[in-house]
Structure 1
């Protein structure tokens, strides 16, 4: 048995066990850094640190407080908060109490939040602030099983006479309660951690399905313990690393990073404020970080815009340097694949050296100057963006996984990474490509199933453990995976959010009386757009009533009046959607879609590839400027 196999197979039942081992091994080492706004609210934040021992003191107090509130093993405790150090401490506290964390995005609306809390049967909600508490109060009648709400930041939280006695308490209250409980039950948390079994539920993460309500993905403790060990076994992270963690911890990608850190013991700087990333990077000086493609797109677009603003000469230098960067990356990766050496021809190396002094070095400084590697996941990274950063010395290692596979199923291997692929399977994970090209996965990271939905589980999880991802891919002879397509119509934005276009399209048809057909687009894009065809008789009738009579359909839909009319309905649609589902731009088609042009099936179903291909110029127009070509 190899050292890697030994490391993975000899894993404890849970991350709670790994956490107690880490605390015992390095109690005084730095574990977390987190920002504290300055007293005046102006100027840069102060950054504070927690050692592993200090973190454990808080984690165990939270765990004991939850036990005192009546949380039993596998009881769900929901966490509705942005990424902050208290999220991690609370999640570890839930695990050490033997409970299971239900993750809720803070941007989730009150209705869907209530559904998740109800479906998961969460007994306690840990809410970030007054706004998250307000959602629970609004829907309290629908949540008889929710016994307590713990608020992380009590600023602006007002008492409500309708709240049951003791229903709302602060995190400080919970920790104080836990400290008192430990005085009389000193072994309580240790006993709970010791009793955890590998198959015990640790996390419920809800994902959007193609239709209807989100499904709860049941991830037992063993998933996270395996992921922690597998991440360490890749060699991509080590004890001297500094991670910058800003990803949403309600998302499986962010969550898995906390497990790997505990196993390895490096420092993690935690701040989920996306608008602070550029400011934080030079302060944190991370050696690695994970992100979704949209962040790299934004950085690239920002650099390009800055160069453009600097005048024609400066922009020409940037364009030249970008071209050199891509050529350098492609050449060095090709050479490494063939010979094991990333060498490039002398002339290209000389050009790269000049471009480095003019452009790339400044880019690396913007990332803090010490970034060894960045991991990109949740959606495909445009290869041109990947090659640009690779040639500039910022190595983006694409990975692949799903909520159902605990996030990290594939990752590019360090120096041998290949832009445009998602790398090789994580140690201990198996992969095969089905006859129809679908990617199938098997291993310790695969979910137990969907919460309360055995029939949905059976659709994707075979009895022998193979999981159907719904994605189409190709494996190279030496094991690198390339994602080529999606088996289903479910689309994923470059920010990593799943969207069911048919659901959004159906909602628009419900609010707009003039629509005939609509196609929502957004796969691997940073926002959603729509192609809309109007019902000709209906819109021509409206035109007659509004001074536009006598004009043909194509002219009517091109008028400012009709554009504004449909804009109003798009805004109404967006009011009922989650932020990431909203349609930011749309174009009205010059004619309706039909069977004759091959855009609709005989049963009048939309043929998405045909419509997107035919109107690609309109789609490109809507995204023009959102990503540098």
Structure 2
């Protein structure tokens, strides 16, 4: 079945129910399933008229928007192949993808993307046309057209092209923390079976009444597959174009479900705890009592046990006094939030469970159509990656590598047979590149990326992710990158939480000049030394960060220091800041 077939199914079920929402002239607007399908079908017909046929490639190079999802579903509907490009990719990176995938048309979202695409079009003999999502963008008319004009005269009816499970739906180029991007080939069957497996696993009730907010990049498999799942189930999905406006969007939209990466949860966890620590003794006591009460309720809920009447009453009071105030900042209605992209500490997941928000931690890759394992609603284990779902099979191979089989596994890497062969065993198991183990109850525990595992010159092995999570769970640390490979001791590059640090320098009566000066002040370095000592109390001596460097700015996506899902590209950062790293070992 073509994965876009849900357009017909849901339009028949809820023709006048809102399907998607987006901001238009600073106001959130919704369109019904009937209008949503009409837009998708008009776009599919317009693409056909522009020369796109089954199996052709069409690129989307844009931030999240209604036009993004409409174009994606139109491409899938006509049996063509969607090639998403991260909105943060530069011209050179976009050109590599367009050249290899041989895209004929590209949709762009902003001026910078348009300029890059137009330049590429003049050098590329296959790319024929640039579509522009917004009329606010200035375009050269040659081989360029506004999306609105492109679909204006197209027919509104369209027959979705039937597809088999093995037919290609999309090529997603992994941002990767190392090496050249590889195009992951995912099929209609990969998406369709993954979605069906989620609904079978969670057994959602009245899912069509849910509201999701898409704020992670749709280019990434996590948000793409989650958004397709939400729409497939009839939920309403809002698309946030500017991720910096996430705080206000949560309050305005009041989503009930949405996916996010660990950094989202860590920032809320750290911020709330810091606020509580700086409160009066009476407020601190109330906060601690509320969290203890919520944790007790969450633990009974986790074990699927009945909650005593008196405890329920206490939890409702805790909600009124503490939890509702925190949840209100996230819109007040969130109850289910998948978390993926990197590991997250059990302290963070326990905190959200205490609030009454179920964080479903999952594990997967682009190559596995996202989810391989995840938390069920009950009997999950904090600190684990959950249990296999659907028809997923997992086993632990050599060097503790996690191996997987199942209907979510990719078809292969586009035009890269050698690289494809390298990630599969002779008997067809996909090699994830992650190390892990199963606990006694069958929960998967991720120990680290095999490539990331570090060995000090003293022969001690360091797993960087748990250490980096421990540090970044603190409100004053936005991100941390551990350095240890071949070194006598562990060091770290620390990105401060500049918002929180601004308050610290104000209290210290330090006049602000610039962050480069501030992070080198001895008083600030001493402030962070105390924080580091406190954070690392429970660690073994060889694991502790002995020296650190405070960075004056965040790692940037555009310069290739981090991926669009905020994973640090260690090789890039080590090379760029080699002098700072050397100084920590030679001074």
Do both proteins adopt the same fold according to a TM-score greater than 0.5, normalized to the shorter chain?
yes
Q: 2:446 aligns with which of 460, 475, 483?
A: 483
For the aligned residues, what is the CA RMSD?
A: 3.6
User: Is residue 79 from structure 1 mapped to residue 60 from structure 2 by the alignment?
Assistant: yes
User: Is residue 168 from structure 1 mapped to residue 135 from structure 2 by the alignment?
Assistant: no
> What SS does the corresponding residue of 1:286 show, helix, strand or coil?
coil
Q: 1:210 deviation in Å?
A: 5.5
Of stretches 398-407 and 292-301 in structure 1, the one that deviates more from structure 2 is: 292-301
Aligned partners of 1:377, 1:571: CA distance in 2, in Å? 21
Aligned partners of 1:479, 1:571: CA distance in 2, in Å? 38
Name the counterpart of 1:397.
Answer: 360
Aligned partners of 2:145, 2:109: CA distance in 1, in Å? 12
Name the counterpart of 2:256.
Answer: 287
Report the CA distance shift for 1:377/1:317 in structure 2 as closer, same or farther (over 3 A): same
Segments of 5+ residues of structure 1 without an aligned counterpart are 1-11, 39-45, 492-518, 534-557, 594-629
Does the 8 A contact of 1:442 with 1:467 survive in 2?
yes
The structure with the larger Rg is 1
TM-score computed with the length of structure 2 as normaliser: 0.76
Q: 1:269 deviation in Å?
A: 2.1
Of stretches 285-294 and 354-363 in structure 1, the one that deviates more from structure 2 is: 354-363
Q: 1:444 aligns with which of 389, 407, 416?
A: 407
User: Is residue 245 from structure 1 mapped to residue 214 from structure 2 by the alignment?
Assistant: yes
Name the counterpart of 2:232.
Answer: 263
Q: 1:591 deviation in Å?
A: 3.7
> What SS does the corresponding residue of 1:288 show, helix, strand or coil?
coil
Does the 8 A contact of 1:443 with 1:465 survive in 2?
no
User: Is residue 196 from structure 1 mapped to residue 163 from structure 2 by the alignment?
Assistant: yes
Within a 5 Å distance, the mapping from 1:96-111 to structure 2 comes to: 96-111=77-92
Question: What do residues 451-489 of structure 1 show as CA deviations (whole Å, max 9, x unaligned)?
Answer: 111111111124543211111222244432221222222
User: Is residue 16 from structure 1 mapped to residue 4 from structure 2 by the alignment?
Assistant: yes
Question: What do residues 263-322 of structure 1 show as CA deviations (whole Å, max 9, x unaligned)?
Answer: 321222222432322222233222211111111112223323444565565456545644
Does the 8 A contact of 1:63 with 1:96 survive in 2?
yes
Q: How many residues align?
A: 500
Within a 5 Å distance, the mapping from 1:143-542 to structure 2 comes to: 143-159=124-140, 165=142, 167-179=143-155, 189-190=158-159, 193-209=160-176, 211-237=178-204, 238-307=207-276, 310=279, 314-315=283-284, 317-318=286-287, 321-322=290-291, 325-326=294-295, 329-330=298-299, 333=302, 336=303, 340-341=304-305, 343=307, 355-462=318-425, 464-489=427-452, 527=479, 529=481
Does the 8 A contact of 1:292 with 1:378 survive in 2?
yes
Name the counterpart of 2:108.
Answer: 127
Q: 1:382 deviation in Å?
A: 1.3
Question: What do residues 44-81 of structure 1 show as CA deviations (whole Å, max 9, x unaligned)?
Answer: xx221111110011101111111111112121111111
Aligned partners of 2:91, 2:561: CA distance in 1, in Å? 11
Q: 1:434 deviation in Å?
A: 2.1
User: Is residue 35 from structure 1 mapped to residue 23 from structure 2 by the alignment?
Assistant: yes
TM-score computed with the length of structure 1 as normaliser: 0.71
Q: 1:227 deviation in Å?
A: 1.7
